[in-house]
Chains A and B, each alone.
Chain A
């Protein structure tokens, strides 16, 4: 046997002999036979051996491998039959679970799961998935959405400014709509959906966060109607909540749409009777929507005599929290959200 390999064999034989517990034995087994262990390392060095010696080196290495395997096996038999009963049995089970561990399963964040669910619905209807910057100008966040300076609607959203009054973090996914309409004004029709993070100047606590997630969908085409809007929104709610969901659509104000439509879902807790969850209204507000305001289309240079469109948006965090039974919104962002390692 190659002198070097012979020395390795002697070293590891001594180590195996000196071991008295199955835990140490398992650790040594990983050291020798693990993916990044001794044997693999030695095999990877074959390429550096001169051709004339390669065959002999390979034979010796296989011999080393077989001998060390046998020694470990013998030692394991010995340890198992002569194991130290003073050791707590737990340790043994730990060793077994290490050996027979189920493969770890990764998980998407619940917000991503919801986004994907919705993306799938909208892709089937011919929508692209779109995004835009998170640091935006006042023009794209407000002005192009028919919210001029000093408009009371600005109070609906407390902005986080980077450089007041010009640069801020986007407060709504409608901002992405501004970018989309600008980009596609000369190339219509268009359909796009956009999940995105949005920011408000809120104190972080159990119920509020300065960053949360919204989902928005926009269509610009010829002859788009409120019937298209309401039917599409209803499809989305049925996808998320099931076919039995009861949603009503009512008149609601948003500056970027006219007519505006507000979807309310019948409270799943009280079924419309009224309870603390729905603030005794029997209904839960689910977001906002409407026909895109002509001023918004015109701001992008779109001819409103030819084109019309709809837009709707909704928050994802509350829905996700309800679905996963999460009580504290902070859990969703860098909190104590975790997944069982083997749960599919």
Chain B
């Protein structure tokens, strides 16, 4: 989206901000501005507007934001237009629910001409061609308010305009002469005999020209999903479609419409010759958001005064009403302005406040602190990490290859992509070996001596209607004997292998390996101790009626002895007395940093020998 500095300043004439500062400020509040440049003595900014800020695809919405940021009064540029009720009504029909609002009027006795220079320059800065005054003014209003508008030459279109889902026309010719095939999912403006216009693109059949003397102008808002679908289906993206597929405020239409009427009367003469047509079947429902003025501080993690929060929301055009009548309460009910369709809940209001308070006021040197939470790393990830380490120690280089391939290994269970634009690679790989073979070919082309490399990645196949993916390791070594030895060192079950004239490929599936938890690295405390006396080692025999798991016994007696003096505990011997059918376990326990007497007392007590 382009933004002419002088045009923006019309909304707040007293604003004094240097272009560089404006660029940075726009960016910080969410309207990323790449750069500004000079075109025909005008300073023009290049902005990326957020997907959810359809209101900022026009100067009006951006100016509203900047008025809050700079705390300057906002000047409305539109003036009231009078459509006399004594005039005839327009015979417009609307037969689809996909129209949210249409405002329209007829203007007669026009004198159309080439556009004045200011209008030509404005459009040039926006990358649009000048056509004639009437057409250019409709485009000017679109750029100003973010709402597309359209003018029909009554001589060609007649007055019986119908907003409808297309049911009878097969083809449409746009203003630039493109011929588009139509079906019945297309939202259109037609008359009983002709396809006149798409919702987002005017048609040749009713185009305004210099001979136009009578026009119907309209501004409309549609169901955005329908416009989006139509635009995608017809592969036609226009300045209008980009705007109409966003959430546009239908309440803004009268302001933009009045402005357009005034500009036409001012620049083309003529007079309004119909009653105002205003189709607006369902007014928008504004959300009522319960909001605590402390919430921005809680979310941001910094102190944002409640006075600022209140003031900011008010300047944004929100209705801020106390929820309970208590002067000390910080809880309010917020009703956002109709232009801000993106504000629907508490978090949206928080963002509004924080962006105007300044993201740059949040400290950057306070990361989240360590906290011990459950390790949910899948064992396979530890296995993959450890395999990669082993393989590079063995002299293998890691490569990554395309997961999409040209030829299936087994066409019966291959998974095929439906819409890949890379027509040469449409199958998900079923094995790493073909991809590694291609990698080898690449290395051979570069005459790389003695390559040995590996990849760990996903392989895919289909089982019935299920899509299966598994982690696999693929390895290549130019020396096939060395590869066999290396694979033995990895201690993994080999599933696929293949010889090439020189060298050897192998593939191993890493999922569903027995006891995967063994790959999880043991956490150690890394404690170190200063030894102040000799280690004391004592034995203890205990006799049990049944055989028990040695490691459990070691854990049990470790807990009884405690960690303070215990150095190590082992079971040195297990004896089964077949006569008595009892089991004798001989424990060997080492104690540290203590004297003989203390160690012995603890030892006897721990094993119940005292």
Contacts and interface: CB of A to CB of B under 8 A. Distances in A.
A230 B364 contact: yes
Contacts of A226: 299-301, 354, 359, 362
B245 A152 contact: yes
Nearest to B451: A338
Nearest to A332: B400
A77 to B, nearest CB: 30
Contacts of A225: 298-301
B450 interface: yes
A191 B51 contact: no
Interface string A213-240: 0000001010111111011101100000
Interface stretch (B120-128, B259-267, B436-444, B492-500): B436-444
A203 B421 contact: yes
A201 B417 CA distance: 10
B374 A187 contact: yes
Given A231-B364, A247-B364, A293-B347, A160 B35 contact: no
A108 interface: yes
B136 to A, nearest CB: 27
Interface in B379-427: 380-381, 385, 388, 391-404, 415-422, 425
B366 A228 contact: yes
A211 B403 contact: yes
A15 B17 CA distance: 92
Given A232-B368, A259-B347, A250 B452 contact: no
A103 to B, nearest CB: 7
Given A204-B422, A210-B422, A221-B371, A252 B377 contact: no
A8 interface: no
Given A162-B467, A227-B301, A339 B364 contact: no
Nearest to B438: A334
Contact of A259 (B350, B393, B458): B350
Contacts of B425: 210
Interface string B424-437: 01001000000100
A301 interface: no
Interface stretch (A16-24, A45-53, A68-76, A130-138): A130-138
B562 interface: no
B28 A251 contact: yes
Given A36-B481, A201-B421, A227-B300, A250 B368 contact: no
B371 A126 contact: yes
Contact of A253 (B52, B416, B421, B443): B52
B327 interface: no
Given A109-B399, A153-B51, A162-B467, A219 B30 contact: no
A231 B366 contact: yes
Contacts of A150: 224-225, 228-229
A152 B229 CA distance: 10
A163 to B, nearest CB: 7
Most chain B CB within 10 A, of A251, A280, A333, is at A251
A31 to B, nearest CB: 13
B419 A252 contact: no
A232 B362 contact: no
Nearest to A290: B351
B501 interface: no
A250 B415 contact: no
Interface string A78-113: 000000000000000000000000011111110110
B408 to A, nearest CB: 14
A125 B370 CA distance: 4
A108 B392 contact: yes
A259 B355 contact: yes
Interface string B278-289: 000000000000
Interface in A181-198: 183-184, 187, 189-192, 197
B367 A294 contact: no
B481 A107 contact: no
B158 to A, nearest CB: 34
Nearest to A342: B395
B566 to A, nearest CB: 29
Given A35-B481, A210-B421, 15 more contacts: A36-B481, A112-B388, A124-B370, A152-B245, A160-B420, A161-B418, A163-B418, A164-B419, A199-B403, A226-B301, A227-B302, A250-B29, A250-B30, A251-B29, A341-B449
24 contacts: A109-B398, A128-B377, A150-B229, A152-B245, A152-B246, A160-B417, A161-B419, A163-B418, A184-B376, A202-B421, A210-B420, A224-B368, A227-B300, A230-B362, A231-B368, A232-B368, A253-B30, A255-B51, A258-B347, A258-B350, A259-B350, A308-B299, A334-B439, A338-B446
Pick the 4 closest A-B CB pairs, nearest first.
A225-B301, A227-B301, A106-B392, A259-B351
